[in-house]
Amino acid sequence: MPKKTTNSRALDAGLLTLRVAVGATLFAHGAQKLLGWFGGPGIDGTTAGMQHMGFEPAKTSAVAAGVSEAAGGLVALGVGTRVAAAAGAAAMIAAADVHRPSGFFAQEGGFEYPAVLGLASAALALTGPGRYSVDAVVKHPLSREGAGIAALVASAAGAAGVLTRRKKALALKVG
């Protein structure tokens, strides 16, 4: 049997670092959308942006995106990590799709940034928060591995539905 080389404390510290970085970034973006914090547009500006991008109903889409991203604050704290991270991943799937026509790199308006945030969020939904988290202390049933997988599947299905509806709305505008 191979010798275990992963230091559990280092792994937990790495998960804490990832959670705080991804969670704080998602929270800030959600707060921009919902509340206008950090120079953001607030819910009215976000609604207008969603309508321009073809998301219908625009206000519902704006609120859903803002709440999904603001849940990143929970990820940073390690509270409801698996479910909150799955919600962030779904929001980033939609954001990456919007940026996809511009290619990969962010400096060209591409999907690089939302893809990395989304994949990091998905990784946290799968791994969980590690021992340095509220989830580890309270051991809530939603902290279990199966909850993260189920939340990711549900979030991906929801994002697919939203993007399908967006593509239909954009086709009607062109047609």
Q: Mean pLDDT of residues grouped by 10 in the chain (175 residues)?
A: 69 97 98 98 98 95 96 95 96 97 96 98 96 93 91 96 94 83
What is the pLDDT at residue 124?
Answer: 97
User: Is the separation of the CB atoms in 124 and 149 below 8 Å?
Assistant: no
Q: What is the pLDDT of residue 127?
A: 95
Instruction: Find where tokens 């998960």 sit.
Output: 15
Alpha helices in 71-111 (DSSP H): 72-77, 81-99
101: preceding bond cis by omega (within 30 degrees): no
Cα distance between residue 164 and residue 166, in whole Å: 5
Do 30 and 72 contact (CB within 8 A), yes or no? yes
Distances (CA, A) of 45 to 54, 58, 86: 14, 11, 25
pLDDT at 174: 80
The whole-number pLDDT of residue 57 equals 94
Note the pTM of the prediction, 2 decimals: 0.91
Query: In this structure, is the dihedral angle defined by the CA atoms of residues 92, 97, 99 and 105, taken in order, positive or negative?
Result: positive
